[in-house]
Structure 1
Amino acid sequence: MPFRWPVTPSIVRLLVFTSASALFLVSEAQADPSAPPAAASGFYVGGHVGYLFGTGTATFADPVPGATAGGTTAYGAFAGGVQAGYEHYFPSRWMLGLEADMSFPSAEDLAQVLSYRATGTASANQQLEYLASLRARVGYVIDRWTPFVSGGIAWASVRNERIDLTTGNDDATPSNVRVGYALGAGLDYRLDARWTARAEYLYTSLPLAGFSFAQPSRYDSLYDLHRLRVGLNYKFGAGETRGDDRPDRGFGSWEIHGQTTFIFQGYPPMNAAYSGANSLPPEGQSRQTWTVSAFLGMRLWQGGELYYNPELLQGFGVADTTGAGGYPNGEAQKSNFPYPRYNTSRLFLRQEIGLGGERETVESDYGQLSGERDGSRVTLQVGKYSVKDIFDGNAYAEDPRLDFLNWSIWASGAFDYPADRLGLTWGLTAELNRPSFAVRAGYFLVPFESNANTLDTALFVRGGYVGELELRYQPFGRTGSFRLGTWLNSTFAGSYGEAVRLAGLTPGLTANDTIAQTRQGRTKYGFYLNFDQELSDSVGLFGRFSWNDGRTEIMSFTDIDSSVSLGLSIKGTPWGRPDDRLGVAGAVNQISGPHAGYLAAGGLGPLVGDGALTYAAENVFEAYYAFQIAKGIVATADYQFLANPAYNAVRGPVNGFSGRLSARF
C-alpha cells in the first residue's frame, strides 16, 4: 500500500489562506533608501514564484496483456506558492532558521503531469498536486545580504490515473503522498526592516515508489526535481517601513497589495424536464471557489510602471462552471482545480504621458501606484491582463470579489471580450484621458478556438479589437459616467447555422459533433452601453445593454447575444454602517435565432447546452449585503434567482445562495 498523508484540499486551502493573509498585513510597502536595516530574529511569511523542472523515471506494467512501458522523461512548469518560518540571528552574524513551504504547479494545461507511460491497451500518469518541504536554514549576514543553505524532508501529493484505451474507462485515485528530501541554497536581501526579497534554488528527490491500480496494473516512479524561484517575505514585529511620504519616489519605489476571496455557493433541487452535458444538475449542488493573490507595482522611470500579479486559484463552480448564460459566480474559473494552481494573472508595463491640466492625487490601490498625475494624459499599457481591467468598467458593478457575483451583472453579458479560460490575455491598450471624457482602444490575443486555454498568436491576422468612449458628468452635483464600447473579434470559429445544417444531413450527429467542421476565419462583432450615476451620498444607479451578432461561436466569455441589466448600490450610512453595501440588480439575457437553433440541435457552448431547447429568455435577479467585519475584511450574503437557466423554459427556476469572505490588504 502506498503511504497516504492526511492532507486534504481543505487543509491545504486553510494553510495557504492563513499564510497568504498574514503576508499582506501591510497594504503598502516601499523600499527605504536609508542605512541597511539590522537583521532581526522573528517569524515571517511570504510567497514565491519560479520554475519547477526535472526528470521522472517511470515503469507502467499492465500484466493482463503482458505489456510494460518504461523510460525517463523531462518535466517543466511554472510554479508558485507560500512559505513560513522562523529565523534567529546571533551576534556573530550567523543565522539559524526553520522554514516550511508549499509550491503548486501552474494552471496551464498538462502542467501537473509529472510522468506518462502507455502500452497498447492502457495509459497511466502521475499528476502533481503540490510539492512541499520542511527545512533547516543556516546563513551568514553580510550588510543587507544573507546567503544561506537549507535541507530537510520533502513531500509531494500526486494523483494516479489509468485510462483503458480499449473501453475509455478512467481509473483515477485520490491523491497520495510521496516522501523524500530537499537541499538548497539561496540569498536574502533586506529591502527594509520588514520586507525581504529572496532568490533560491531547491533540489528535491522523491525515491522509487509504486502504486497499484484497481485493475491488475502497477506504476513505479522516481523523481529528481529542481526549483528556481524568487520571493518576498514579511517579518512580524519589525520596525516601520514607510520611509518618506513623497507621492512619487522615483526609480525603484514599489508597493504591494493583496487579496483573498472565498465563496461558497449552492442551490436546492430544481425542476428539469431533461439535462445535458452543460446543465445545472436538477438534484441541486454546492461548490466553493478560492483565490489569493498579490499585486506588486514598481516605478521604473518618469511615468513608467511595471506590475506583476501572481495568483493561486482553487475550487469548482457549480456544474463545473456551466448551466447558465448569466452564471452565478464570477470567481468560478472555467478550469477547475481540486488543489491550488499558480497563475501569472497580470504582468504588464504602463507608461503615462502627461498633457498638463490640474494635477490629480492617486491613492495606492490594487494595480495602481500612489502619486500624482496630470488630469489630461495619454496612457499606454502592454502585457498580460484582463480586457475588463480597462474596458466596461462601472462604479457599482464590476468586481465579483466585492460586489455582484452574476456574470451578466458585473459585466456586459454579450461582450465576448478576448480571454483564456481564466479571463486573461495579452494585449496593448492606448488611452486618452481628459477631465470630462476618455477614449480607449486596444488589440488583444484571442483563443485558438472556442473556450480554449491556448491563445492564437497570429498577430493582426486574428485577434480582438476593442474601443470605448467614456463621458463624465455631474448632473445636480452628482457624479456620473456613460460608456459606449464597440468590439470586433477575428477568430478561428464555427458557424451555428452551418453546424445545424451539417447535422441535419448526417443522421446520428448533433450540432456539437459538426461545429468543428465549420471552423474557419470569421469575425464576430458587437457593442455595449454602460452607465453609473450617483443619486445621493448613499445610493448609486447603474445599468448595461450589450449585443453581438450571434452568428458564430462564443470564444471567451459566456453564451449571451443580448443582455440588459439595471441595479442599485446602497451604502449602509442610513442605518449607521457606512462601510457596508447593499446591492440589488436584475438582468435579462437572450441568444440569437441561429444560436438557439444550434443549442436545440444538441450544440454546446462554453457554458450552456442542455442537449435540447425550449427557448425562453433567461431572467436573473441578484441581491447581496456586504458586511465589513474589520478594515479590509468583508463578509457577504448573496441570493440569486434564475428563471429559464440556459434559455430553457422546461428547466428551473434556480434559487442560488452564496456566502463570500473577502480580505484586502
Structure 2
Amino acid sequence: MRRSAIVLLSVFLPDLPAYAADLATKAQAKSFAAIFNWTGFYIGGHAGYGGGSFGPGTNPLPEQGVFFPHSLTGLTGGYQAGYNIQLSNNVVLGAETDISFTSTLDRPRLTPAPFNTTFDTFGTVRGRIGYAFGTLLPYVTTGAAWARTRIDINGDDGEPVGSRARSHLGWVAGAGVEVSMGGNWTGKIEYNYIDLGSRTYNLNDVGLPSVRVDPDIHTVKFGVNYRLWDVPPWTPSNDFAVRRPAIPESPDWNIHAQTTLIPQGYPSFRSPYQGANSLPGAGRVRETWTVGAFLGWRLWDGGEFYFGPELAQGFGIGGTLGLAGFSNGEAQKGGAEYPKFRAQRYYFRQTFGLGGEQEDVADAANQLPGKRDIDRVTVTVGRFAVGDFFDGNSYAKDPRLDFMNWAMWSSAAYDFPADLPGFTRGAIVELNRKDWAVRAGFFQVPSQPNSDVLTFKTGGVVLELEERYAILEQPGKLRLGAFANRGNTGNYRRAIGIGASDTTLDINDVMASIRRDNLKYGFYVNAEQQVARDIGVFARASWNDGQNEILSFTDIDRSLSAGLSIKGSYWGRANDTIGVGGAINGLSDSHRDFLAAGGKGLLIGDGQINYRPERILETYYAYSIDKNFTLTADYQLITNPAYNADRGPVSIFSGRLHGEF
C-alpha cells in the first residue's frame, strides 16, 4: 500500500500546483463576490442616446445620432456623482445626481422653419434601490428632473438671429444594472424616462404665435463610476465589511480622462477696417473648455477597440476667425455656449507582430499596456484625428500641453481631412521597424469647405515616412509626409475671372457656385532633435499647391516653424516646461488675389488685403501643480494677422489649466 501511494503521488504531484492555483483563483473570485460592498461615494461619466418630443409645432432641432437616427437629443453625454450604502441583507440604497448634454446639429436634416427648439442641458436628482448579487447590482431609480430649453428665432436665411430660454421641472423614473470592473471602477447601463413640465414661449414680439414646449424624453446611457476611496475616512480601518478588498484591475482595459480650460484675450490693436471674417480690432476675451475620456478594450491578442467621447464648450477669440495661424488649438470652428457632446474617437486597431525583439507599451490614453513586437504591421479603422497618427512631434504637438498656435503644433499648410472639431473616418496601415516606419491612410473629407458633414464620395490620402536616428548619441526623428485631397472646392483664379467680368457679383457667391471635385496636394517635413538631456528643438516646413480652396484645416499655403523646449530639471522643477518658437505663414498668388477681391476663407477675410506673410512668436511656461494638473502661461505676438499689414500687430495672452487622469 505504501508503494502504491508513492506511485499515485508521483503520477499526480506534477499537476497539483496547477490544480491548486486554479482552485485558488476560483476561490478568490468567489471570495471577492462574497465580500464586495457597494457602500461609498463615487463620481463618473456617461454617454448614451435619447429621443422624445417637445410637443406639437415646436420644430425640434435634429441633433446628431451618428449610428442612430437624429433626434431632439441625439447622442448624449455628461457626468454623475452619488453615494451608496449596502445594508446587511444586501439591499443597496443610494442617491445620485447627473447632468447631460446633447450632441451637435445634424445640419443636413434641418428643415426650414421660423424657429427651432432644442435643449441646452438636462439633469436629474434620484434615489436608487437595488439588491447586490456580489459584484452585480440591478436597481430601480426615481426622482426629480430639470432641463433648460431654448428657442432659436431664425432669419430669412435660416440662421438664428435671436433666442429665448426657459427652465423646466419634472420627474424621472428608470432602471439599470451596475457591475464591478475591477479596482475602484464600476460600469453600468441605465434607462430613464423623463417627464418635464411645460413652459410657454411668447413670440408675439417677433411676429410669431406663442409656443408651448412640453419635453418628454427617453434615454439609454452607458456609464463608468470611480469609487473615491476604499475606506471612507470616518470608518474604522478594522471594519472589514466596509473596507471592500478591491477586485484586481484587468490589463485588458483602461480608462483615462483629460480636462482643459483655456481663457484667452488680447487688447485693442490697430484696425483701420475689418470684414466679416476679421479679428475684431477692439479687445476680446473668450474661453474654451473640453472634457474627454479615453476607453480601451483588448478584444484578443493584438486586437483593440478605443472609444473617446468628448464635451466641448466655448469659442475662440473673434469666433475662431481672423488668424490663419489661430491662437488656440482647442478652439473648434463650431463653438457652443453650452457643452456639446461628440463621440470623437471610435476605432479598431489590429497589430500583427512580425517576431523578433519586443518593446514595452506604457498604460496611456488610447494605448493599452503590455508588450509588442518592434517589427509589426498595424491596421486602424474607424473615427479619429489624422494627427493621432501623422505629423507627430515630441516638442510641438499637443495644444493641451505645449504650443497652442495652430501653426506651431501642426504642419500648417497640411490640409488634413477633418470635420469642424478636427476628426474624420478612415483606415490607416503602418509598417514599423526599429529605425523607421511608413504609414498610409485613406480618409473621408468634408462635403465642402468648413462643412461638418464627412463623405467618402471623394476622399483624402496621407503617406508618411518616419526615420529615427541619433546625432552624438542624442535621439532625433525626421518625418516626411505627402497628402492629396479631392473635395468639393472652388478654384481661386476662376472665381477672380468671373468676378472681374461682372462687378455686380459677390466673389464669395461666385466661389460657392463653381465648386466641384478638385484636387489639392502638398507635403510636409517635420524634424525633432534632442540636443541635451531635457532640451529639444523642432522644425516644420509645409506646402500645398494653393490653387483651390482649403478644405479642412486653415488658410495657409506655405509655412515654416521652429522652436525650443526645455524641461525644468535645470532649475529643480523636473516636470515643468518652457517653450519658445515662431512660425511664418504665406499664401499662393491666386489665394492672396482672391482675398484682395473681397474673398473669405475658412478663417480669414478682411474684405481687402495689404499682403505680408503672417508672422507668429509664441512662448509658454507650463508649471506642474502635481502629477495630474499643469498650469500654463502663454504669450503670442502675431504680426500681419490674416496676412494684412494694414492691421495689427496683436498680442494674445493665454492661461491654460490641464488635468490628466
Asked whether the two chains share a fold, i.e. TM above 0.5, the reply is yes
What residue number does 2:123 align with? 132
CA distance in 2, matches of 1:272, 1:172: 31
Give the secondary structure class of the aligned counterpart of 2:455: coil
CA contact (8 A) 1:60 1:218 kept: no
CA deviations 1:314-367 (Å, max 9, x no partner) are 111001111111100000011111111111111111111111232101111111
Deviation at 1:124, TM superposition (A): 2.0
CA distance in 1, matches of 2:352, 2:508: 49
What residue number does 1:546 align with? 542
CA distance in 1, matches of 2:254, 2:247: 10
CA contact (8 A) 1:323 1:608 kept: yes
CA contact (8 A) 1:639 1:657 kept: yes
CA distance in 1, matches of 2:249, 2:659: 27
1:81 aligns with 2:55: no
What residue number does 1:208 align with? 198
What residue number does 2:138 align with? 147
CA deviations 1:616-645 (Å, max 9, x no partner) are 100000000000011121000000000000
What residue number does 1:650 align with? 646
Give the secondary structure class of the aligned counterpart of 1:599: helix
Do the aligned partners of residues 74 and 235 (structure 1) sit closer, same or farther apart at CA in structure 2, a change above 3 Å counting? Answer: closer
More deviation in 209-218 or 649-658?
Answer: 209-218
Equivalent pairs: percent with the same residue? Answer: 44
The code of the aligned residue for 1:129 comes to D
Give the secondary structure class of the aligned counterpart of 1:595: helix
CA distance in 1, matches of 2:259, 2:192: 27
Give the secondary structure class of the aligned counterpart of 1:325: coil
CA contact (8 A) 1:112 1:129 kept: no
Greater than 4 Å deviation, 4+ residue runs: 110-113, 164-169, 239-242
Do the aligned partners of residues 500 and 153 (structure 1) sit closer, same or farther apart at CA in structure 2, a change above 3 Å counting? Answer: same
1:625 aligns with 2:644: no
Structure 2 unmatched ranges of 5 or more: 1-27, 60-69, 231-243
Of 140, 147, 162, the match for 1:171: 162
CA distance in 1, matches of 2:136, 2:398: 40
CA distance in 2, matches of 1:284, 1:307: 41
Deviation at 1:513, TM superposition (A): 1.5
Give the secondary structure class of the aligned counterpart of 1:457: strand
CA distance in 2, matches of 1:410, 1:169: 34
CA deviations 1:521-566 (Å, max 9, x no partner) are 1110000000000000021010000000001111110000000001
What residue number does 2:607 align with? 611
Deviation at 1:234, TM superposition (A): 0.8
The code of the aligned residue for 2:98 comes to D
Deviation at 1:171, TM superposition (A): 3.1
CA deviations 1:588-638 (Å, max 9, x no partner) are 000101110111111111111111111110000000000001112100000
CA distance in 2, matches of 1:515, 1:657: 35
The code of the aligned residue for 2:313 comes to Q
What residue number does 2:282 align with? 283
CA distance in 1, matches of 2:58, 2:417: 41
CA deviations 1:290-328 (Å, max 9, x no partner) are 011110111111111111101110111001111111100
The code of the aligned residue for 1:591 comes to L
1:235 aligns with 2:232: no
What residue number does 2:354 align with? 355
CA distance in 1, matches of 2:337, 2:249: 44
Q: How does 1:548-587 map to 2 (within 5 A)?
A: 548-587=544-583
Of 467, 478, 481, the match for 2:463: 467
Q: How does 1:229-378 map to 2 (within 5 A)?
A: 229-238=221-230, 241=246, 243=248, 249=251, 253-378=252-377
CA distance in 2, matches of 1:361, 1:170: 55
CA distance in 1, matches of 2:158, 2:449: 28
Deviation at 1:91, TM superposition (A): 0.8
Deviation at 1:163, TM superposition (A): 3.1
Do the aligned partners of residues 574 and 447 (structure 1) sit closer, same or farther apart at CA in structure 2, a change above 3 Å counting? Answer: same
CA contact (8 A) 2:406 2:412 kept: yes
CA distance in 2, matches of 1:166, 1:137: 48
CA contact (8 A) 2:539 2:561 kept: yes
CA distance in 1, matches of 2:542, 2:405: 15
CA contact (8 A) 2:605 2:642 kept: yes
Give the secondary structure class of the aligned counterpart of 2:539: strand
More deviation in 501-510 or 126-135?
Answer: 501-510
The code of the aligned residue for 2:476 comes to G
What residue number does 2:102 align with? 105
The code of the aligned residue for 1:182 comes to V
Deviation at 1:60, TM superposition (A): 6.9
CA distance in 2, matches of 1:538, 1:334: 35
Deviation at 1:242, TM superposition (A): 7.5
Deviation at 1:170, TM superposition (A): 2.5
What residue number does 1:42 align with? 40
CA distance in 1, matches of 2:84, 2:126: 12
1:226 aligns with 2:222: no
CA deviations 1:273-301 (Å, max 9, x no partner) are 21011111000101000011110111111
Deviation at 1:131, TM superposition (A): 1.2
CA distance in 2, matches of 1:434, 1:554: 34
Deviation at 1:110, TM superposition (A): 5.5
Larger Rg: 2
What residue number does 2:8 align with? none
Structure 1 unmatched ranges of 5 or more: 1-31, 62-72
The code of the aligned residue for 2:92 comes to M
Do the aligned partners of residues 117 and 591 (structure 1) sit closer, same or farther apart at CA in structure 2, a change above 3 Å counting? Answer: closer
1:641 aligns with 2:641: no
Of 78, 93, 108, the match for 2:90: 93
CA contact (8 A) 1:60 1:117 kept: no
Do the aligned partners of residues 165 and 599 (structure 1) sit closer, same or farther apart at CA in structure 2, a change above 3 Å counting? Answer: closer
The code of the aligned residue for 2:486 comes to S
CA deviations 1:50-86 (Å, max 9, x no partner) are 111012213479xxxxxxxxxxx96351111111111
CA distance in 2, matches of 1:166, 1:395: 46
Give the secondary structure class of the aligned counterpart of 1:491: strand
Do the aligned partners of residues 563 and 138 (structure 1) sit closer, same or farther apart at CA in structure 2, a change above 3 Å counting? Answer: same
CA contact (8 A) 2:362 2:369 kept: yes
More deviation in 131-140 or 163-172?
Answer: 163-172
More deviation in 295-304 or 504-513?
Answer: 504-513
Of 50, 53, 63, the match for 2:51: 53
CA contact (8 A) 1:112 1:127 kept: no
CA distance in 2, matches of 1:342, 1:549: 35
Q: Taking CA–CA contacts closer than 8 Å with sequence separation of 6 or more, which of the two structures ends up with the larger relative contact order?
A: 1
What residue number does 2:488 align with? 492
More deviation in 334-343 or 496-505?
Answer: 496-505
Give the secondary structure class of the aligned counterpart of 1:226: strand
1:379 aligns with 2:378: yes
Give the secondary structure class of the aligned counterpart of 1:237: coil
Deviation at 1:108, TM superposition (A): 4.0
The answer to which structure has the higher helix fraction is: 2
CA contact (8 A) 1:551 1:595 kept: yes
CA distance in 2, matches of 1:630, 1:259: 14
Do the aligned partners of residues 33 and 307 (structure 1) sit closer, same or farther apart at CA in structure 2, a change above 3 Å counting? Answer: farther
Deviation at 1:193, TM superposition (A): 4.8
What residue number does 1:17 align with? none
CA contact (8 A) 1:38 1:193 kept: no
Give the secondary structure class of the aligned counterpart of 1:388: helix
Do the aligned partners of residues 169 and 446 (structure 1) sit closer, same or farther apart at CA in structure 2, a change above 3 Å counting? Answer: closer
CA contact (8 A) 2:112 2:158 kept: no
CA deviations 1:489-511 (Å, max 9, x no partner) are 01111111111112222223232
What residue number does 1:184 align with? 174
1:480 aligns with 2:476: yes
| TM-score calculated relative to the size of structure 1 | 0.88
The code of the aligned residue for 2:38 comes to A
CA contact (8 A) 1:76 1:111 kept: no
| TM-score calculated relative to the size of structure 2 | 0.89
